[in-house]
Each structure stands twice: as C-alpha cells, then as structure tokens.
Structure 1
Amino acid sequence: MIVEGTILTGRDFEPVQGRVVVEDGEITAIEEADVDNSNVILPAFVNAHTHIGDSIAKEAGAGLSLDELVAPPDGLKHRLLRAASHAAKVEAMRRSLRLMQSTGTATCLEFREGGVDGVEAIREAADELAIDPVVLGRETAAAMRESDGFGASGARDSEFGDLRAETREAGKLFGIHAGERDPHDVDPALDLDPEFVVHMVHPEPEHLDRIEAEDVPIVVCPRSNLVTGVGVPPVRDLLDRTTVALGTDNVMLNSPSMFREMEFVSKLTDASATEILRMATLNGAEIAGLNYGVIEPDREAKLLILDGDSDNLAGAQDLVRAVVRRAGQADVKDVLL
C-alpha cells in the first residue's frame, strides 16, 4: 500500500510531501515526492482514557456532582448500567467504538466496569470493527486476567495492593484515577507504582516533584473535569514534568471524539499544537506499549487521512495547528487501521 499526501512525520509532526509505503501493516518507508492531492496524513489517535459502558445514557444526570454521577457502587452511571440489558450495553458500546473509529481513533484505553462480564461485553462490541480497544478490567482479579490489565477507581477508599501485585505478576497494565476531586488520594495512588494515573486535576507541588522523579505518565480529560465541576488539570505543569496523554472519559458526559478534546485543550491551555497532537497519538500509545502513534519506519501503519482541501481546512497555514484546533469528522477521508 502507498499513501500519498502531506505527511506529518516523526514526534514533531514535521510536514513532508510524499508517500508512506506500507507492507504487511507496517510502515517501511517515507519517501519525499511531489504529489498531486490535498491529503493530510497523520497518525491515528489513541484515546488514553474512556468509559464507554455508559454510552447507554448520553447526557443523563445534568447538574449532578462527580460522586452522584459516577462514584461506585450507586452513582447514576452504575445504577443505569445495572438496569440495562446486556444487548443494550453491547450495542451502545459498539456505536461509540464505531464513532471513534470513524473519527480516526485506532484504540482507546478503556476502564471496563462489570468484572469479567464487562470485559466480554466490550470484546463483543468491538468484534468485526477495526478499532482495537485496550481493555482494563475492574473490580476483580478475574477481570484483570481476562483483559489487558486493571483500571482502579482510586485509592481514596479502596485498597488495591493485592490486585496491583497480581497485575504486575501478570505483566499487564495498571492504571488508576487520582487527584480528580482533591489532592488527598494522589500519594496513595503513586505508592502503587502505576503504569499511568488518570485526571491529576489537583496535584500539589510535592506531587509534581514525585511524578517527575518516578516518571509516572498522566492522562488528562479536561472536558470531563469541567463538566463534573472538579476543575481543570494543570496541563502545562504536567507537560513540563512527564508524559501526558489525552482521554475523553465517560461517553455519558462527552463525545469520544479526539478532535473535540484536542480543540478544547488547545483553547484552554498554553500547550502547543505539537504537544497536543502528541498527547492524542504517540503518548497514549507509549503508555499502552503500542508500536504506533507516530509516522516513521518500523511502526504499525495506523493512519488518519484528512482532506486538506475541505472547506474547513483549505488555506491552513500551519497544518498541525489546523488539525488540532479546527479539524473534525467532516474532514476525514479515510482511516487506515
């Protein structure tokens, strides 16, 4: 396969006109050449934090607090999930996965409620789709063993020491929520030596020092944090300390479109367009141990092709900035997964 256009190459997304050569699903070469099309070729997105089970309840619970919305076991989300049929949950998740795929997302790091049954449900939802979610089971060790790791709710009121040890022994990912409402659960979460921490809206200076010293990646979900009223993560401070990736969090609260999340972050913070596109691609891939998220030889060819001559993108002087701040689903020409 040969894909031609303006290619956003490497970690800095340097625009190069030419072609991406793909063999057996792997990028074998990037060749500079004059090409006669308006394609913009970039890495497919990695949505580094999702909860798509609550796709059955989009925009439910307006005005509720974070705990009232999503806290286990009786937050609104969990009550609605218990009330929904297996078939309804699978179909709703399939729709969200299909939307992510159509908007250029290669994978999502899904914190999957429902134990083993929940893991099996998302596998069923993803069957026959090209998007391949990284599933982190929750609640039980059995769910961890049936999935790609364990997604902990948080260390505020729960003990995860045994599950952390079992996850490490299994050689799988361990992620945990922390610092979402306040800073009090940050140290207990970091004490578990997680592969990554989600949210980190309220780190204290000593937490930032520890995150940097221990090289702990952080996944931020700014739209979700704003909707639930907990604040906005200090994206600049985190970027200066560690690897930061981007997630869309609960489908109940937000569309799982990385275009929308990137635009929001770009207009809310002083992070550069290059940093934000890296947060939406390579950084999430590296957290999950995936060999894509960047266009360079010997990487898997997970690619998003945009129409640079769409009414929305035509005339863009800075392609990376245009992708981050204004591109959307209508500009997508193809998604190669």
Structure 2
Amino acid sequence: MQIEGTLLRGRSFEAVEGRVTVDDGEIVAVEERPTDSDRIVLPAFVNAHTHIGDSIAKEAGGDLSLDDLVAPPDGLKHRLLGAADTDSKVRAMARSLAYMESTGTAAFVEFREGGVEGVEALRSALSGREIEPVILGRETVGAMEASDGFGASGARDDEFGRERNATREAGKLFGIHAGERDSSDINPAMDLDPDFLVHMVHPEPLHLQRLADTETPVVVCPRSNLVTDVGLPPVADLAERTTVALGTDNVMLNSPSLFREMEFTAKLCDVSARDVLRMATINGAELAGVNCGLLAEGYDAKLLVLDGDSDNLAGAQDLVRAVVRRAGQADVQRVIR
C-alpha cells in the first residue's frame, strides 16, 4: 500500500510532500517526492487516558463536584455502572469505540472499572473493532492479571502497595491518578514508583523536581479538569520536566475525541501545536508501549489521512497548527490501522 500527500513526518512533524509505503502493517518507507494530492498524512492518535465505561451516562453529572461524580465507591458514575446490566454497558462502550476510531484514534489506555468482569465487558465491546486497547484493570489484583496492568484511582483512596507489587512482578503497567483535587496525594502516588501519573493539576515545586528526577510520564486531561472545576494542569511546566501525553478521561464528561482535546490544550495551556501533537501521538504511544504514533520507518502503519482541501482546512498555512487547532471528524478521509 502506498499513500501520497503532505506527510507530517518524524518527531518534529516536518511537513513534506511525499509518499508512505506500507507492507504487512508496517511503515517500510517514507519518501519525499512531488505529489498533486491534497491529503495530509500523519500518525493516528493515542488516547492515553480514558474511562469509556461511562458511555452509559453521558452528561449525567450536571454540576456535581468531582467527588460526587466519580469518587469510588459511591460517586454517581459508580452507582450508574453498578445499576446497569452488562449488555447495556457493552453496547455503549462499543459506540464510543466506533466514535474514537472515526476521529482518528488508533490506540487507547483504559482505566477499566468493574474488576475482571469489567475487563471482559470491554473485550466484548472491542469485538470487530480495529482500535488497539491497553486495558488497566482496577479494584483487584485479579483485574490486573486479566488485563495489561493496573489503573489506580489515587493514593487518597488506598495505599495500593499490594497492587503495585503484584503489577511489578507481572511486568505490567501501573498508572495512578494524582494531584487532581489538590497536591496532597502526589507524593504518596510517586512513592509507588508508577509507570505514569494522570492529571497532576496541582503540582508544587517539590513535585515538579521529583518528576524531573524520576522522568515519570504524566497524562493530562484539561477538558475534564475544567468540567470538574479543579483547575487546569500546568502543561508547559510539566512538559519542561517530563514526557506529557494527552487523554480525554471520562466519557461521562467529554467526548473521547483527541481533536477536541488537542484544540483545547493548544489554545489554553501555553504549549506549541507541535508539542500538543506529540502529546496526542508518540508520547502516548511510548507511555503505553505500543509501536505507533510516528510517521517513520519501522513503526506500525496506524495512520490518519485528512482532506487538506476540505472547507475547514483549505488554505491552511501551517499544517501542524491546523491539525491541532482546527481539524475535526469531518476532515477525516481515512484511518489506517
């Protein structure tokens, strides 16, 4: 397979006319050459933090506080999930997965509620889909053993020492929420030596130094933080010290579209479009351990093809900026997985 157009290649997303050659699902050549194509070809997205079980309860929370919305075990989300039957949850998740695929997401990291049963429900929802999951079970060691790792709710909810040790022994990913409401749970979370942290809205200078020293990656979810009224993460400060990836968080609160998350982050968080595109692609891929997120030889051919001559994108002078701040689902011509 060969795809021609303007390629956003490498880690700098240099815009060049050219052709990508794919063989057996792998990028085998990225060539610079003249082309008449209006396509824009870039790596498909990696959504580094989702809760798609919430797909049964979109916009159910109104103006509730963060704890009332999602805190285990009695937050609204947990009560709604507990009351819903498995088939309903599977159907709702399958629709969110279809939407994620249509908006250019090739892989995602899911914090999956419901123990082993929750992991199995997500696998059922993934049937027939091409999106690549990295599933982090929650609540029990058994859920970790049945999935790709453990996704902890936060050090304010539990110590998670046993789960961390079991996850390390299994050689799997361990992620944990930290610094979402305030800074009090950041040090206990970092003491667990996680593979990554989620949110980090309220880091203090000590925490920023710890991030720099340990190089612990952070996943930020700015739209979610704004909806739950906890503030915006200091994305630029975080990115100066460690790898930052982008997630959309709860489907209950926001659509799982990285187009929307990128635009929001670029316009409100004082980071460049190139940095934001890295957060939505290669940074999330490396955090999750998936071989995509870059338009370069040797990477899996998970590619997003946009119509550069759409009414929305025609005339764009800076393609990276246009992709990050302007593009959307209507501009997607093809998603290659």
* Aligned counterpart, 2:204: 204
1:289, distance to aligned residue in structure 2 (A):
1.1
Alpha-carbon separation, structure 1, partners of 2:97 and 2:212:
33
1:316, distance to aligned residue in structure 2 (A):
0.2
Please give the secondary structure, in 2, of the residue aligned with 1:143: helix
* Aligned counterpart, 2:114: 114
Please give the secondary structure, in 1, of the residue aligned with 2:164: helix
* Aligned counterpart, 1:153: 153
* Aligned counterpart, 1:30: 30
* Aligned counterpart, 1:239: 239
* Aligned counterpart, 2:141: 141
Superposed, 1:176-195 pairs within 5 Å as 176-195=176-195
Please give the secondary structure, in 2, of the residue aligned with 1:99: helix
* Aligned counterpart, 2:21: 21
* Aligned counterpart, 2:287: 287
1:157, distance to aligned residue in structure 2 (A):
2.9
* Aligned counterpart, 1:70: 70
Say whether residues 1:218 and 2:218 are aligned partners: yes
* Structure 2 unpaired stretches of 5+: none
AA partner of residue 254 (structure 2): N
* Aligned counterpart, 1:229: 229
TM-score, scaled relative to structure 2: 0.99
Q: Deviations over 1:263-284 (max 9, x none)?
A: 0001102100000000000000
Alpha-carbon separation, structure 2, partners of 1:286 and 1:31:
24
Write out the 4+ residue segments of structure 1 that deviate beyond 3 Å after TM superposition: none
Please give the secondary structure, in 2, of the residue aligned with 1:240: helix
AA partner of residue 13 (structure 1): F
Alpha-carbon separation, structure 2, partners of 1:12 and 1:32:
15
1:43, distance to aligned residue in structure 2 (A):
0.3
Superposed, 1:234-273 pairs within 5 Å as 234-273=234-273
TM-score, scaled relative to structure 1: 0.99
Say whether residues 1:94 and 2:94 are aligned partners: yes
Alpha-carbon separation, structure 2, partners of 1:129 and 1:157:
34
Q: Deviations over 1:276-316 (max 9, x none)?
A: 00000000000011111001001111000000000000000
1:223, distance to aligned residue in structure 2 (A):
0.3
Q: Deviations over 1:197-224 (max 9, x none)?
A: 0000000000000011001000000000
* Aligned counterpart, 2:7: 7
1:31, distance to aligned residue in structure 2 (A):
1.2
AA partner of residue 7 (structure 1): L
* Aligned counterpart, 2:323: 323
Please give the secondary structure, in 1, of the residue aligned with 2:184: helix
AA partner of residue 177 (structure 1): H
AA partner of residue 192 (structure 1): L
Q: Deviations over 1:29-73 (max 9, x none)?
A: 111111121000000000000000010010001110000000000
Alpha-carbon separation, structure 2, partners of 1:318 and 1:228:
33
Alpha-carbon separation, structure 1, partners of 2:71 and 2:214:
28
AA partner of residue 43 (structure 1): P
Alpha-carbon separation, structure 2, partners of 1:76 and 1:258:
25
The CA RMSD measured in Å over matched residues stands at: 0.5
Alpha-carbon separation, structure 2, partners of 1:75 and 1:32:
53
Percentage of matched positions with identical amino acids: 71
* Structure 1 unpaired stretches of 5+: none
Alpha-carbon separation, structure 1, partners of 2:100 and 2:242:
26
Q: Deviations over 1:74-96 (max 9, x none)?
A: 10000000111100000000000
Q: Deviations over 1:115-137 (max 9, x none)?
A: 00000000110111010211000
How many residue pairs get aligned? The number is 337
AA partner of residue 286 (structure 2): E
Alpha-carbon separation, structure 2, partners of 1:196 and 1:61:
27
Q: Deviations over 1:235-268 (max 9, x none)?
A: 0100100000000000000000000000000110
Alpha-carbon separation, structure 1, partners of 2:83 and 2:132:
27
Alpha-carbon separation, structure 1, partners of 2:16 and 2:123:
37
1:11, distance to aligned residue in structure 2 (A):
0.4
AA partner of residue 254 (structure 1): N
Alpha-carbon separation, structure 1, partners of 2:4 and 2:281:
20
Alpha-carbon separation, structure 2, partners of 1:87 and 1:289:
30
AA partner of residue 114 (structure 2): G
1:172, distance to aligned residue in structure 2 (A):
0.4
AA partner of residue 333 (structure 2): K
